[in-house]
Amino acid sequence: MQGRAYTESQQRKFNLLTKEMRLEVAACIKRDNWENANHMQELAQPVDTVYSRYVKRILDIVFSGIALIITFPVNFALLVGTALDVGSPIVFRQKRTGKDGKPFCLIKFRNMTNETDENGELLPARDRVTKFGKFVRRASLDELLNFWSIFKGDMSLVGPRPLKEETADRFSKRHAGRFAVRPGLECPILGVTDHSPTWEERLENDVWYVEHLSFSTDARMLFGVVRMTLDSKARCYRAGAGGGGFMGYDEDGHVIDQASIPEKYLDEVLQRHGLLKQAKEADFHA
């Protein structure tokens, strides 16, 4: 399901959806398939060791504290650059889901404008990122403030990427196992270097991580993060990962992302909002 490309008709239908309507689509997918996915998937078995309970957190405090001191001049320069580039507010805040499913506030320097389309919806992120913001992203400088989140205990150096709060209740019980640990700067899929990871691969990798958490695993992951940061191709693969946002599961328990939503769910929500006829007329004139 995940690798399927949208037809032009499906793409037109998806483009008619507002943010709220996309949430409705995700709710419909969950209604039909979430329980079945739970029956088809094995539960995650997170490790419980001295390292996972105490040592990892101590290392996070030490290394993030050092990183905050070293990167202070860079962060100050980013603060000034952001103020000149996009103005106030300088910091972007967004609720993300943390350990045990508890929300926390992720902070980054802003690198996008707030431009909207004719419907008042924000333009796609790629159309709102400024030139300065693109540089910041390419150099991974937008991740530096995460060291503060690590230092105060919301995040870890290594762990599953923190996702938007709205997606938390869509995960199957197996994939919700990713919340057994603090989210991290990155949780690279070791050995995958030739394509953008799918959501299926990312979530299964997160489960693998919580089931194999150890000092040696974190060391290998950190090496992978460094490689990813220095490898422009790997950064491009990461930026293109996922096929859009995570939406839920199909009837076979496989992940559905925004690029592979079954058309029946698009039709259901468009019909509910009186837009299905408009979508069909657009198909007729295409």
Question: Please, which residues have CB within 8 angstroms of residue 280's CB and are 6 or more apart in sequence?
Answer: none
Domain that holds residue 39: 8-275
Determine, yes or no, domain membership for 280.
no
Over residues 70-76, mean pLDDT: 95
Question: Please, which residues have CB within 8 angstroms of residue 235's CB and are 6 or more apart in sequence?
Answer: 138, 140, 228, 229
How many domains, in total, are found in the chain?
1
Greatest Cα pair distance, the chain, in angstroms, is 64
pLDDT band at 286 (very low <50, low <70, confident <90, very high): low
User: Is the bond preceding 162 in cis, omega lying within 30 degrees of 0?
Assistant: no
pLDDT of 97 above 90: yes
Over residues 267-284, mean pLDDT: 86
Determine, yes or no, domain membership for 142.
yes
The C-alpha atoms of residue 15 and residue 2 are separated, in whole angstroms, by: 19
Higher per-residue confidence, 238 vs 100: 100
The C-alpha atoms of residue 237 and residue 200 are separated, in whole angstroms, by: 15
pLDDT of residue 3: 46
Question: Please, which residues have CB within 8 angstroms of residue 6's CB and are 6 or more apart in sequence?
Answer: 14, 259, 260
Over residues 127-146, mean pLDDT: 86
Determine, yes or no, domain membership for 14.
yes
% the chain with pLDDT above 90 = 60
The C-alpha atoms of residue 106 and residue 146 are separated, in whole angstroms, by: 8
What does the pLDDT look like over 218-245, one tens digit per residue?
Answer: 999 998 877 776 665 555 555 555 457 8
pLDDT of residue 195: 74
Beta bridge partners of 256: 248
pLDDT of 2 above 50: no
Determine, yes or no, domain membership for 282.
no
Using a cut of 0.95, tell me whether the model's pTM lies above it. no
Determine, yes or no, domain membership for 283.
no
Determine, yes or no, domain membership for 284.
no
Determine, yes or no, domain membership for 285.
no
pLDDT of residue 134: 87
134-173 CB burial, b ≥16 within 10 A, e <16: eebbeebbbebbbbebbbeebbbbbbbbbbeeebbebbbe
What does the pLDDT look like over 14-67, one tens digit per residue?
Answer: 989 988 999 999 999 999 999 999 999 999 999 999 999 999 999 999 999 999
Higher per-residue confidence, 286 vs 265: 265
What does the pLDDT look like over 179-208, one tens digit per residue?
Answer: 999 999 989 888 666 677 889 999 999 999
Determine, yes or no, domain membership for 82.
yes
